[in-house]
């Protein structure tokens, strides 16, 4: 049975949370969420924001891989060994922190209410430390994904241009709207080279959404196809650090500007000596 005190803490957290909680989700898998989330966190951090990237794909960790980190702990330890939330935080060389997920633990693939309340305790603890808490969600419309969606202030739904990806994005928005009360969705079209084509895809999706659902949709922008991202995955180094002036990063900076009005200087994205030292001593 969920502990009463935990529920009260959750309500208190919801009332006074200060950090901005952002979920990056998608209907279809493999459309680019984790790369987007990692570089998003990098850009915000390099522009002076305090950022935590939470690997919300709880049973299929990927954030640590893209950052070439082998964490000694992960979220499963929090549930199984009763660690404190601060013991889960891992510094990166890129000025932001992560909370790593675990790989291959099916237990966390579907959290029950009690687990979820325990998870909220992490946010109660870290809310004061960070300005942005980004959830890199798993693909699809699972209960886990919906839980992160429903506690976020900003929801970004990433899709690609193929009809299957767009259909799955619609399915996710439908479930989030009908069953979890989501009232605003921000769409990003990834791997498309033409802004007009991206906007037209958005308009088509919006037309269907407006017909069947009661939810506001915004076009956040598009990200071009950029082979640099494939190199960065191979090198396990975020593109923000590997090639800060690449097309992908320019598009991402424009998206962040739209989300929060922040003027991102992509030149600031390289790794600083300070960050490397911080990581070495952590």
- Specify the residue, 30 or 104, whose C-beta has the smaller distance to ligand ATP: 30
For strands 97-99 and 90-91, give the pairing: antiparallel
Q: Are 160 and 38 within 8 A, CB to CB?
A: no
Q: 23-62 mask for ligand ATP (x: CB under 6 A)?
A: ---x--xxxxxxx---------------------x----x
What is the C-alpha R_g of the chain?
A: 18
Size of the site for ligand ATP (CB under 6 A): 20
From the list 35, 50, 39, the residue with the least C-alpha distance to 96 is: 50
The residue sitting closest to Mg ion, measured at its beta carbon, is 34
Closest separation between CB of residue 171 and ligand ATP, Å?
14
Spatial distance between the Cα atoms of 144 and 138, rounded to a whole number of angstroms = 8
| Pair of tokens at residue 3 | 């502990």
Q: Which of 33, 46, 49, 191 binds Mg ion (CB under 5 A)?
A: 33
Q: What is the largest CA-CA distance in the chain?
A: 54
Q: 82-121 mask for ligand ATP (x: CB under 6 A)?
A: ----------------------------------------
229 binds ligand ATP (CB under 6 A): yes
The gap from C-alpha 231 to its chain's centroid, in whole angstroms, comes to: 21
SS3 154: strand
Tell me which residues touch Mg ion (CB under 5 A): 33-34, 62
Binding site for ligand ATP (CB under 6 A): 26, 29-35, 57, 62, 139, 190-191, 223, 225-226, 229-230, 233, 248
């Amino acid at each position: 049975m969920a502990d009463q005190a935990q529920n009260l803490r959750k309500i208190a957290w919801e009332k006074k949370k200060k950090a901005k909680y952002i979920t990056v989700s998608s209907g279809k898998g493999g459309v680019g969420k984790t790369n987007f989330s990692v570089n998003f966190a990098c850009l915000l951090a390099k522009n002076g924001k305090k950022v935590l990237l939470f690997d919300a794909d709880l049973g299929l960790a990927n954030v640590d891989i893209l950052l070439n980190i082998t964490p000694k702990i992960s979220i499963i330890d929090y549930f199984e060994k009763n660690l404190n939330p601060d013991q889960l935080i891992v510094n990166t060389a890129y000025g932001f922190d992560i909370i790593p997920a675990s790989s291959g633990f099916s237990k966390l693939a579907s959290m029950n209410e009690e687990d979820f309340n325990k998870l909220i305790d992490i946010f109660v603890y870290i809310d004061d430390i960070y300005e942005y808490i980004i959830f890199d969600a798993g693909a699809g419309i699972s209960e886990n994904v919906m839980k992160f969606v429903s506690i976020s202030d900003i929801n970004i739904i990433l899709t690609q241009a193929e009809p299957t990806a767009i259909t799955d994005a619609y399915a996710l928005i439908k479930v989030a709207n009908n069953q979890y009360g989501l009232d605003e969705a921000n769409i990003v079209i990834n791997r498309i080279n033409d802004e007009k084509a991206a906007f037209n895809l958005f308009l088509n999706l919006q037309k269907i959404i407006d017909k069947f659902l009661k939810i506001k949709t915004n076009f956040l922008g598009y990200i071009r196809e950029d082979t640099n991202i494939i190199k960065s995955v191979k090198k396990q180094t975020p593109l923000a650090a590997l090639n800060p002036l690449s097309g992908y990063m320019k598009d991402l900076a424009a998206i962040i500007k739209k989300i929060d009005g922040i003027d991102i200087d992509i030149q600031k994205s390289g790794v600083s000596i300070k960050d490397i030292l911080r990581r070495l001593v952590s």
